[in-house]
A = this chain, B = another copy of it.
């Protein structure tokens, strides 16, 4: 940590800051110039919280040097983490191909869609039973009945299933049916929910919040990891910017950025990011070319009748064309895509 004092700080201020540092058992290094004094502190930054020091009169700036996340960091775990979601590997060159409707609307419809995306090469089935809708008057999901449908369809087709959990009180329930939790963008900093999924031994797919920095996302992953659950997969789904021709702005640079900072896998969701089906294939290809560990795409057999997010869904045949492209791209990148039992693509 580096503490920059205001110009022409009095010896009293300098002494006060040094005292605070030494009281914590740390050694300050003083650099005194004509107008400026800088204090370097090398050691366990945790002991010396950045915030309170900034509040000392005379301190202009406190520059932290160490990263605030540990378990999520590449330093802590130099190798890429690879997680196994019921036979499907994610991370370290293994791509997740997650597909399915936004919301679970009924068993027949989900089954029909699931067969098609599985045959196209999807290796994880998605579908929401609890839906975070902006309006209280919109369809809120089928709840536990939706979870049961998802489980049955997943089992029938040998596909692992992922579904969103929104409420700490639902964690136990969702864990009974799902192979992976999803934490939605709006709940990325719902810290009580993060703690609760951190206590279960089930992989967690956590989506970046619409105004979350890369560091914020890694800190939210750290919340889950710190509770003991070590299987966290990050997901980029677009951030809010001034650009209004897409629903959000997909920030693909997070992929190589996270690869440098962390060992955790990161996948990309071009459906929510763009909100426009005609842009999804190009963004899915870009994600794989950037080194993402998978792609999450919404697929619906009849988007105009979807109860949620229909306009951004691909048709099954569009998804099949996309996966064919992604497989060739993955091969070029040296990546592999696990397929579900009984499927050959």
Contacts and interface: CB of A to CB of B under 8 A. Distances in A.
Contacts of A134: 68, 189, 216, 219
A304 to B, nearest CB: 4
Each complex incorporates copies of this chain amounting to 4
A51 interface: yes
Contact of A213 (B214, B244, B279): B244
Interface string A283-298: 1011111110000000
Contacts of A260: 278
Contacts of A276: 257
A187 interface: yes
Given A29-B31, A288-B289, A192 B167 contact: yes
A256 B241 contact: no
A53 B305 CA distance: 8
A32 to B, nearest CB: 7
Contact of A214 (B20, B215, B219, B245): B245
A33 interface: yes
A54 B239 CA distance: 22
Contacts of A192: 166-167, 169
B186 A189 contact: yes
Contact of A242 (B4, B213, B245): B213
A65 B2 CA distance: 11
Nearest to A1: B38
Given A187-B190, A214-B243, A65 B51 contact: no
A40 B51 contact: no
Contacts of A283: 252-253, 256, 290
Interface stretch (A107-115, A119-127, A173-181, A307-315): A307-315
Given A167-B168, A290-B282, A249 B256 contact: no
Interface string A24-36: 0000010111101
Interface in A86-137: 132-137
A209 interface: yes
Given A40-B31, A219-B134, A256 B243 contact: no
Given A55-B306, A289-B329, A246 B250 contact: no
B31 A42 contact: yes
8 contacts: A2-B4, A7-B75, A133-B191, A211-B239, A241-B241, A252-B252, A253-B274, A286-B289
Top 3 nearest A-B pairs (CB, nearest first) are A33-B42, A211-B211, A289-B289
Given A61-B65, A282-B291, A283-B290, 16 more contacts: A49-B138, A52-B306, A68-B134, A167-B192, A169-B169, A209-B211, A210-B211, A211-B211, A213-B242, A215-B245, A239-B242, A242-B242, A252-B286, A253-B279, A288-B289, A289-B329
